[in-house]
Amino acid sequence: MDKAIAVLGLTKVSKKITLKHVGWAILAFKLAIAGYFIYLLVEGFRTNAFEFGERFLWFILAGFVAQLIDGALGMAYGVSCTSLLLWLGIPPKFASASVHTSEIFTTGVSGLSHIRFDNIDKRLFFQIVVTGSIGAVVGAYFISDLFDGDLVKPFISFYLLLLGVYLLYKAFKKRQDKPKKMKHTPLLAFAGGLLDAIGGGGWGPIVTSNLLSRGNSPRHTIGTVNTAEFFVTYFATAVFIFVLGVQHLEIVLGLIIGGVIAAPLGAYIASRINQRLLLILVGVLVVISSGWGMLAALWL
């Protein structure tokens, strides 16, 4: 994978691109998708296409809980949110599409903030952003067009259950003093993007956790992976919109509203609660919700 990047000439291109260029790209992409969704919202309200019933409140709650976790922990928004949406009976492709669409609005702000505070490892960024985006595009196409939703749902739930178990493993695992050598980083990003798009979450737990376990700087690793996540999320969302259209706008709106309400609370919790305890709580939440979803899908 590293050789393929060299052949494509991306190494030379990355030397010419500055973090300022990356920031402007995030702004441009973010404004484009925001304008499109504002148009859809206006049309939806004009034609009374939305039904803000009890189910919409559950979407807000799902976004609230997921953002509360992500704000306090720095990861697991997608895993938590997708697990809750599947538990609410949302088909896998619409759950993943909704989560990725809502994430565009949060990861963009996060990426710009990390650029502003110089939390980016430029070399690492270009190692993961290209292959991560490619993996996300492939995964989004698979889940939205090739896989049958009812057939794949137990497998998605099982994947999320494994991620929940992994989070619990991380919580109880002792820290390694000896850093590992970085190998196959672009391939790791491809796998992270692919599984994130198919499962609706996993970019943070897969990519960030693996890079940190190799001894990378936490500050620059988290900042770089979070910034790359915007592009991974953006291109996955583009595929979802192209293949599925926008049939999940009420879910997205609910997730965004819940996330906006929870954002300041997440930051407050991060300063108060023990991170290990929070990781355990998240792991338990994901294991229970995805385990229940898997059993329900198999029995029904």
How many Cα atoms within 13 Å fall on the side-chain side of residue 79? Answer: 32
**pLDDT reported for residue 246:** 76
Distance of alpha carbon 15 from alpha carbon 276, whole angstroms: 38
- Asked if residue 267 lies in contact with residue 62, where contact means CB atoms within 8 angstroms, the answer is no
What does pTM read for this prediction?
Answer: 0.80
Distance of alpha carbon 276 from alpha carbon 248, whole angstroms: 34
Distance of alpha carbon 38 from alpha carbon 180, whole angstroms: 46
**pLDDT reported for residue 176:** 55
- Asked if residue 58 lies in contact with residue 253, where contact means CB atoms within 8 angstroms, the answer is no
Q: Which distant-in-sequence residues (6+ apart) come within 8 Å of 98 by Cβ?
A: 85, 90, 248, 251, 252, 255
Each residue's pLDDT expressed in tens, for the chain with a length of 300 residues: 555 555 445 556 667 788 899 999 999 998 998 898 889 888 888 888 777 788 899 999 999 988 887 776 667 788 888 888 988 888 888 888 899 988 888 788 778 888 888 889 999 999 999 999 999 999 999 888 877 666 777 887 788 788 888 878 878 876 655 555 556 899 999 999 998 898 888 887 788 877 876 767 778 888 898 899 999 999 999 999 888 887 778 899 899 889 888 877 765 675 677 767 877 877 887 788 778 777 776 765
User: What element of type H or E holds 167?
Assistant: helix 149-172
Q: Number of helices (H) and strands (E) in the chain: give both, helices first.
A: 14, 0
- Closest Cα partner for 76 from 205, 169, 245, 234? 205
What SS3 string covers 184-247?
CHHHHHHHHHHHHHHHCCCHHHHHHHHHHHCCCCHHHHHHHHHHHHHHHHHHHHHHHHHHHCCC
Residue type, 178: K
Distance of alpha carbon 230 from alpha carbon 170, whole angstroms: 25
